Amino acid sequence: SAPQPPSHSTPLCSSRRIQKPSTAEHKESRMATTDTSYQSQTKSVLHVAGSDPTGYLGRLTPSEQETLDEFRKQLDSANPGHGQTDRDLLRYLRAREFKLDKSLPMIQKTLQWRSEMKPSETPLETIREFYDRGETLPAGKDLRGRPVVWTFNKHHNPEMADLAVQNHLYLFERLIKEMPEGEETIVSVFDLTGYTMANKDDKWRKNIINAFQNHYPERMGMFIIINPPPIFGVIWWMIRMLMPKRTTQKFEFIKGTPEQVKEKLLELFPEDSIPQHLGGTQQMTPQKWIEQQLGPAPPTADRPWAPENMDTKKKGWLSGWAKYWSRTPSNENMEGDADKAQAISN
């Protein structure tokens, strides 16, 4: 006889009214599901970067080695004195699936971008505001020993969007130089606790994603998002549209009570790397870090990069930065920054 379909203890469709669980039961069930999902994701996200079996120095296939050799030959010919190592070239090749016709233009655009923007030469004094305000902290390591940048988004001011991009690029450049031998990636943690619509900044988000993808390929080890608000679901949907799958796999979302957040962070970071307000024992704060670099914070009236004190010269610099983004060929989707800077300048 013909095989019978599997039976169900509860009909898939029924006119019988089903009793809904209480609010407490529903919340407990949902949190249990989230925790189970999180546990499996956490264990993998820590090791996503560098997990490919090939494509790295010491584990190249004959075809990959041949592509790397040809890549260096063409780059040496077109851009003599470029200063890129084999490890650097391989990051661009991996980002473009070892397609030389895409990797070569990508790295050449980056060399031009670095020549024009000089991200490693940003004076720390020009971005001090982000630390005095408590927005950014470069401190600690993850369990793999990679350097970490903590961003506390409730302190973000969208009027400083373009300078905020410059701040993150400065930190990227600094932490890359401080990486342990053999490590290529860093970790970014965005704490959205207390984040509101007043902090929402689509243009900063687009520009920073563009910079990381096009000019720092294969540099991101993990993206950790803490306590994202409901609106972030829409933002994440848009972010995913701009990123390849190999990048979105490096994202992890942590949400829950302070105890739950701490427990999950401890699966990724040693306790002394986690800021105290997140349950760790990290002694450094943004304010302490910048004081170690530049001394005590000046009074607000003497802080030229505070939004309320930005003079015409510095607003002009900010406008120029934004206009660069709007005219860069690789930034076709980064529209509107010049409009923002013009509004600030006015």
Cα–Cα nearest to 325, from 129, 89, 90, 164 = 164
Helix (H) or strand (E) holding 150: strand 147-152
Cα–Cα nearest to 219, from 185, 252, 195, 253 = 185
Which residues lie below 8 Å from residue 174, measured CB to CB, with a gap of 6+?
138
Write down the pLDDT at residue 307. Answer: 58
Q: How far apart are CA 255 and CA 228, in angstroms?
A: 7
The residue behind tokens 């679901």 is 233
Write down the pLDDT at residue 137. Answer: 97
Write down the pLDDT at residue 5. Answer: 40
Tokens for 153?
Answer: 């988004």
Tokens for 279?
Answer: 């349950």
Write down the pLDDT at residue 29. Answer: 36
Q: How far apart are CA 281 and CA 87, in angstroms?
A: 35
Cα 123 off chain centre by: 22
pLDDT tens digits along 215-258: 999 999 999 999 998 877 787 887 788 777 778 889 999 999 99
Whether residue 193 contacts residue 227, with contact meaning beta carbons closer than 8 Å, is answered with yes
Write down the pLDDT at residue 179. Answer: 87
Write down the pLDDT at residue 232. Answer: 76
Which residues lie below 8 Å from residue 335, measured CB to CB, with a gap of 6+?
326
Tokens for 280?
Answer: 């760790």
Average pLDDT per run of 10 along the chain, which is 346 residues long?
41 35 41 36 72 90 97 96 94 95 97 92 92 95 94 92 92 91 91 89 86 92 91 79 80 94 96 97 96 88 61 51 43 36 37
Write down the pLDDT at residue 337. Answer: 38
Cα–Cα nearest to 253, from 222, 228, 278 = 228
Cα–Cα nearest to 273, from 138, 135, 173 = 138
Please name every residue paired with 138 in a beta bridge, in sequence order, or none if there are none.
149
Q: Is 63 exposed, middle or buried (0-12, 13-18, 19+ CB in 10 A)?
A: exposed
